[in-house]
Structures are given as C-alpha cells and as structure tokens.
Amino acid sequence: MSTKLRILSVLEQQKGQSISGQTLADILGLSRTSIWKGIKTLQKEGYIIEAVTNKGYRLSAKSDVISAETIRPSLLAALQDLSMHTFKTIDSTNDEARRLSSKDPIRQGIVLSEEQTKGRGRLGKSFYSPSQTGIYMSFYLKPNLNMADAALVTTATAVAVCLAIEKLTTKKPQIKWVNDIYLGDTKICGILTEAVSDFESGKVETLIVGIGLNVKEPSAGFPTELEAIAGFLTSSAEKASFDRNLLIAEIANQFYTIYQAIEERSFLAEYKKRCFVLGKKITFKERNQQFEAVPIDIDPKGGLVVRLSDGHQRTLSYGEIIM
C-alpha cells in the first residue's frame, strides 16, 4: 500500500479527531516529511484534512471522497478479495465494468466513479451523474444463470439498495417496478442491468449491474427536465457529514448476500413490501403503446402481474410505469 494510503487509513480510523504528525510517523514508521508530503497529496485529491495547531492532522467528518481503502474495511469477510476500481471521472461505470470483465474472464468486481460523463439509464435514457454528489457503481459478475433468471438480479438489487439505506439512515425508500427507488415523490436511484451472453448456450457470461444513487443535492441543482422527478437521499443538514463509502460498502454487502442465494427468491417478499405501485391504478408504456392497469403482484421471475381494464390478467416483463 502506498504511503498516502497508509496515512489515509490511520486518519480514517479516527475520522474527526486529531493525530499529531509525530504519532502518525511513529505508527507508520515514516519520517515527518513523508507524512507532510502524503497529507498534501491527499488534500490535492479532495480529502478535507485540517492541520490543527499543537494537535496535528484531522480528517474532517465532512471529507467524503470515494476510495477503495475506505470501503474495504466495511465489507463482509467474504468480499475482501473483490477487485475494486475507483475513478474520479469515467464515461460510464457499466462501460468500464464491461471493458474490465472482458480482459479478465474470471474475476468479479466493482467499478466506482465520482462522476460519469456518459451515464446511461434504461430505455436509452441518459443518467445525470454530477461529480461528488452521488454513488455511481457497477458490479460485474460471472453468474451461472440463464437470461430469464438474470432479470431477477435487477429486482434483487433494488431490495439491496433499500436495505442498505434503511440500515444506515432513518429513510424509508420505496420501489417503483421495476428498478426505480423513490423517497416520497422523487426518484433517488435507478438500476441498469446489462448482460453479455453466450448465443449458443443462452447462458449469461457476464452480468453488469449499475446503480446510480443521488446522495446529495448537486450544487447546480438538477437539469430542468429532471427537476420535477429527481430527488436525493440526504437533507441539507445531513449531507455535510454523510459518508458515501459506508453506504457503498453496505449496498455491496446486501447485494452479495442476496445474490448468493438468488435462486431461493426470498428477497421477493422484501421487494413486494416496498413496491408502492401494487394496488394502484397505473399507466403502463410498452414499446409505443400505453394502457391502464392495476398491478396486483410480483411473479417469481420479478415480472409485474397486472389486472387490465377488461378484467384480464397479464404479466409485464419489459417497459415502464409512467403513473
């Protein structure tokens, strides 16, 4: 581990408290000059490290830079070997996940970025991904699933994100089928699952699960076209000390726990509890057609079972609810 990351790891362990340059130097077996240089590099990378007279250095509770070294200690033991790739900026974490997994056909991992320049959503939409305010992460997996079951991973991911938010905050996120997570009337998170499959066997070779979660209100606000619908997880009072790294680790823990046992489908009950469209009259858009229906259930494959105006039942697997 580099000098700078060793310093960061000690500062992280006592985030918000000061530690003298000498103590840091003693703990790490480094000179005070090396500590000073390491601190300067971390500050340049965006970490808020204050130099407090007679007390030393303090990683501010407001410091919130996504880093693998900060995330890893909060991951479950079974995930300690996971490869993690972090970026300041990237076109799309899903695209990077696809590039990485094609180079390494065996390993699974996570891609994270502070910003995306070409963030993508479902149905050809873009996903607004401004710097340092959100979580843009993609898991790349080597599942032993066929295409139909791979669709369930999206459903499972929505549950994982809700459980992680509920564990670390007092918020009560809800799910709009298939994969949008809402807080009140606004969408705070979307999920884009993409598969690379073997044409002959029909098996999914690589599954990429991208999560875009608006954590803090972007300083310039949302673009006009998103203003009415887009929301964020933290209030202005909470956002100053919110640590995205902890939430990333918790999402990963919840996700992999559900994913290991995906065939048991026990997460579907959690999905239904949070799926706020069940029992409500909705307008559904499927390809270029719109129709009204009342969702009544989620089927074992994650499909939305609806009752149509003529009383017939149908299961929807593709499209979107436009309310």
Distance of CA 86 to the CA centre of its chain: 13
The residue at minimum Cβ distance from ligand BTN is 190
Task: Kindly state the smallest distance separating residue 93's Cβ from ligand BTN, in Å.
Answer: 4
Rg of the chain over all Cα atoms, to the nearest angstrom: 22
Q: Could you tell me where the DSSP H helices lie in 45-188?
A: 68-71, 93-103, 147-168
**Residue 234 contacts by C-beta under 8 Å, 6 or more apart in sequence?**
169, 215, 216, 242
What do you get for the CA distance between the two ends of the chain, in Å?
A: 50
Task: Kindly state the smallest distance separating residue 30's Cβ from ligand BTN, in Å.
Answer: 37
Cβ proximity to ligand BTN, 6 vs 120, nearer residue: 120
The DSSP code sequence of 191-237 is EEEEEEE-TTT-BEEEEEEEEEEE-S--TT---GGGTTTB--SS-HH
Q: Are 235 and 215 in contact (CB under 8 A)?
A: no
Please state the residue numbers annotated as binding site: 92-94, 116, 120-122, 187
Alpha carbons 258 and 153: distance in angstroms, whole number: 9
Q: Which residues contact ligand BTN (rule: CB under 6 A)?
A: 92-94, 116, 119-122, 125, 127, 136-138, 190-192, 210-212
Task: Kindly state the smallest distance separating residue 272's Cβ from ligand BTN, in Å.
Answer: 21
Cβ proximity to ligand BTN, 140 vs 267, nearer residue: 140
Sign of the C-alpha dihedral computed for residues 41, 46, 47 and 50 taken in this order: positive
87 pairs with which residues across the strands?
113
Task: Kindly state the smallest distance separating residue 205's Cβ from ligand BTN, in Å.
Answer: 19
Alpha carbons 236 and 234: distance in angstroms, whole number: 7
Sign of the C-alpha dihedral computed for residues 264, 211, 142 and 298 taken in this order: positive
Length of the chain: 323
Task: Kindly state the smallest distance separating residue 19's Cβ from ligand BTN, in Å.
Answer: 35
Cβ proximity to ligand BTN, 190 vs 295, nearer residue: 190
Structure tokens at 158: 């929505």
Please state the residue numbers annotated as binding site for biotin: 92-94, 116, 120-122, 187
Sign of the C-alpha dihedral computed for residues 29, 31, 35 and 40 taken in this order: negative
Task: Kindly state the smallest distance separating residue 190's Cβ from ligand BTN, in Å.
Answer: 2
Task: Kindly state the smallest distance separating residue 103's Cβ from ligand BTN, in Å.
Answer: 18
